[in-house]
Amino acid sequence: MVTSVVREAPVGVFDSGIGGLTVVSEMLSQLPLEGIIYVGDTARVPYGPKSPDTVRRYAREIAFYLAGQHVKAIVIACNTATAHALDMLRAELSVPVVGVVQPGARAAAAATISGRIGVIGTTGTVRSGAYERAIRSLRADATVVSLACPLFVPLVEEGWTDHAAARLIATEYLRPLLDVGIDTLVMGCTHYPLLKPLLADTLGPSVRLIDSAQETAAEVGRVLRGANLDATSAENPVRRFLATDDPDQMLRLGQRFLGRTIERVETLALE
Ligand code: DGL
């Protein structure tokens, strides 16, 4: 039997940095009663180019920190960390662990008509093949073309989401996907939802864009309800934001990802 103490406990969310705030933003709109403790590993970002073992070590450290804060579930808001560490964390933790890959893959498999699906993400996510596996397990006949778009992350962090340079880079990156004739694109990186208008312009109206952040928040809701862990009281849900480096960056740039101001960021010392 699930006690109300557990039910009202916060959900732990983590990412390599501030990009995972796009998932928090969706959770705040879709699941407003849920408390949230967010950890951004700003000291060690980016995870995208790092080896799977290193990303797993970082992910384990943060997930165990969150488990120590008595969260009732953990959301890996980072695509790269999900690709490398989801299975490991599910095996090691006693609370439900939700990643961003499966929800995005499910939405893509449901949205495509032609079965030709593009996936864009970091080098680590693309190399892992996690999205291909997840999509093909749902739709075996799908053609999945995955592309690493590493320059998109710094462009978004610079706020250049509608800059001429971003348009040029998007055109170059996305050309192979247009050549294949995809009808669905998974934005498989925390930062890419901020590029949605630009990606939509570049790909044209026939390509449906899948936002992993939106899909993940919906999945978190389903998982919590399914385990009778969804919060029922609206009294001051926890909102804590922690950064492993100087809090200043999350305070300054967080709003761009979260869509609202972050008033306080705590410092979390790991290692
Ligand atoms: N959070 C990462 C992801 O979604 C992008 C930034 C990074 O490389 O750490 O894959």
pLDDT at 260 exceeding the cut of 80: yes
Between the alpha carbon of residue 197 and those of residues 87, 113, 158, the distances in Å are 33, 22, 17
Look up residue 163 and give its two tokens.
Answer: 């800059």
Q: Residues 163-216: pLDDT tens digits?
A: 999 999 999 999 999 999 999 999 999 999 999 999 999 999 999 999 989 999
Alpha-carbon span 245 to 40, nearest angstrom: 9
Ligand 1 atom closest to the Cα of residue 124 is 10
Q: Residues 75-122: pLDDT tens digits?
A: 999 999 999 999 999 999 999 999 999 999 999 999 999 999 999 999
pLDDT (average), residues 62-67: 98
Distance 80 CA to ligand 1 centre (A): 6
pLDDT (average), residues 223-249: 94
- pLDDT score for 220: 98
Q: Residues 213-235: pLDDT tens digits?
A: 999 999 999 999 999 999 998 78
Distance 154 CA to ligand 1 centre (A): 10
74 contacts 14 by C-beta, under 8 angstroms: yes
Q: Tally helices (H) and strands (E) across the chain.
A: 12, 10
Q: Which residues are catalytic?
A: 78, 189
Ligand 1 atom closest to the Cα of residue 20 is 1
Distance 15 CA to ligand 1 centre (A): 7
Q: For the chain, how many residues are written?
A: 271
